[in-house]
Amino acid sequence: MGSHRFTNEQKIKWFKHFFGWFDLGLFELLKNKYTNAQQSDVFPTSPVDIKEELTKEVVKILNELLGLTGTDSESDSTTTAQDIEQSDAEKRRDANQQKQDLIKQKQKSERDLKSIETDLKWKKNSVLSLRKDQLPNKRKEIDALNQQISQTSTNPPSAL
């Protein structure tokens, strides 16, 4: 990014390949930082060290852009890609656990609903059968009362 051996188009192509997307502001910021860093020989020459240093610098720059810099800027700059991946993995695990918990709650609610529906159906049938059993008895009772009523109306009470 800071080398004068590459054209701007080559640097843009590398940026897109490395990040998977392109942002002109971030590109210019990185290009300027690495140009200045290369001139002052801040970066080590080992490819492994360069990758680690690049990762730290990118994280530091992104934190600056997002306004995440604070009093412990040294700890921000030591954040590695591995730390970010671990954080993402923890978030995915938490999200999966939350999803599993919600699925369990849903299954319990479905079981409760089925139980309530079964109880309701049983009670409804129970009440209906109870009423059906009482129906003939009530009819007999009404018939007996009707008979008593008709007997009293045909036989007037005697006067004393």
pLDDT-wise least confident of 58-62, 77-81, 84-88, 147-151: 77-81
Domains of the chain, residue spans: 8-80
pTM of the entire structure? 0.32
Beta carbons within 10 angstroms of residue 27's beta carbon: 18
Express each pLDDT in 5-56 by its tens digit: 889 899 999 889 988 988 899 889 888 888 877 665 555 555 556 778 888 8
pLDDT of residue 110 exceeding 60, the answer is: yes
Q: How far apart are CA 119 and CA 128, in angstroms?
A: 14
